[in-house]
Amino acid sequence: MDRTDSQYPTALSVDDFELLDYLLEDDEIELPQTLKISRRENLDPAPLSYAQSRLWFLEQLESESGVYNTGGAVRLVGVLDVAALAASLNEIVQRHEILRTTFAIANGQPVQVIAPTLTVTLPVIDLQQLPDQEREKEVQRLAIQEADRPFDLTEAPLLRVTLLKLGQTEHILLLTMHHIVFDGWSREVLVRELATLYENFSRGKYSPLPELPIQYADFAHWQRQRLQGEVLEQQLTYWKQKLADAPTVLELFTDRPRPAVQTFRGSTQFFELSPSLTQKLKQLSQKQGVTLFMTLLAAFQTLLYRYTNQKDICIGSPIANRNCHQIEPLIGFLSIPSSYVRTYQAIPVFNNCWIGFGK
């Protein structure tokens, strides 16, 4: 139930927002003030965002692991211009400072160090000679190998790209990034920009993409300036109170004891809901005045209550955190975890499970 991969929304520009505000003025309807993030005044190493700081700390504990790698694979069908693809990737790297960023220590604190330029190589692995079944196995092996290979946060780049050639008109592009510079929303930004740039570069045209309003380091600097002192203390106090009595362990019966040392070994279960059931869930959500995500979350928490008999069920889920038009087109680690706590009475009533979500 990860909401960071939802469809990229169309946001109002600043001019559109001001026009809408003006049109609603006569009706005495006030719109919330939009956030304004300015570019940094100097190019000194930038502070880490709070999300990056959390992940940087965890990386110090698991530096030899690829557990915080992210990315995916893109299947490309048709005649491929490899040179145009490589140029498109490097244009994105040049366009987004975060993809040219490494991390160092300055005055005892981690900072972002942004390289002025960086060229990413695109190695090509030819798998055409392998039989079909063996070729698919090799694709899986290479994809897992890339995903598990750790990054060194002090060395650029913190992304790797590999092109697998399956045939004359079929390729797979493997993309691997460290999570500290990338999130689920970033994946959509990258794929969209890659498609646009490739279409133009393969025809000998220039990039049609507009200049980004800000860079990720600008956001990190703004966040550090905004969330400090009394404002930060209020946020911390709120969550400390909300999570004060939250259980530290989910007492779920398993087929083997928990290991003494965390291993990160696990699996993912995929399943689909039928169209008819999905429609009924949407209708139930509308009737209760909630989103489909909230309905599914309530069902999942109820299921966990059934198996654990714990009255307090706490679930963490990432949210995109793209609440400002300036950061919507950015690649970077902006997603943040949110805790959803539900306290069940002796006889839980499903319709009441929505109350208090997000708190």
> What's the average model confidence in pLDDT over 138-155?
95
Q: Looking at residues 317-339, what average pLDDT do you find?
A: 89
DSSP code, position 258:
P
- d(CA 109, CA 107) in angstroms, rounded, equals 6
* Whether the domain at 1-34+245-257+268-359 and the domain at 41-221 fall into the same CATH topology: yes
- Top mean pLDDT of 91-100, 321-330, 332-341, 348-357 is at 91-100
Instruction: Kindly tell me if the per-residue pLDDT of 358 is higher than 60.
Output: no
- Write the CB contacts of 48 (distance below 8 Å, at least 6 apart in sequence): 56, 103, 110, 111, 112, 220
What's the chain's length in residues?
A: 359
The model's confidence at residue 1, banded by pLDDT at 50, 70 and 90, is very low
Task: Give the pair of three-digit tokens for residue 295.
Answer: 């309905």
Domain range list for the chain: 1-34+245-257+268-359, 41-221
Class of 41-221 per CATH? alpha beta
pLDDT given at position 8: 38
What is the average pLDDT across 255-267?
80
Rounded CA-CA distance 37/214 in Å is: 8
Q: Is the pLDDT of residue 176 over 50?
A: yes
Question: Considering only the top CATH level, what class is 1-34+245-257+268-359?
Answer: alpha beta
Q: What is the pLDDT of residues 84-111, one digit of tens each?
A: 999 999 999 999 999 999 999 999 999 9
Torsion of CA 74, 80, 84, 85, to 10 degrees: 10
Report percent pLDDT > 70 for the chain: 86
pTM, full prediction: 0.82
- Cα diameter, the chain: 70
Report how far residue 184's alpha carbon sits from residue 33's, in angstroms, rounded to the nearest whole number.
Answer: 27
Angle at 37 between CA 32 and CA 43, to 5 degrees: 175
- pLDDT of 8-53, one tens digit each? 344 444 455 455 555 555 555 444 456 789 999 877 899 999 999 9
Summarised one tens digit per residue, pLDDT across range 116-140 is 999 999 999 999 999 999 999 999 9
Residue 323 has pLDDT above 50, yes or no: yes
Q: Map residue 101 onto helix, strand or coil.
A: strand
- Average model confidence (pLDDT) across the chain: 86
Q: Please, which pLDDT band fits residue 350 given cuts at 50, 70 and 90? A: low
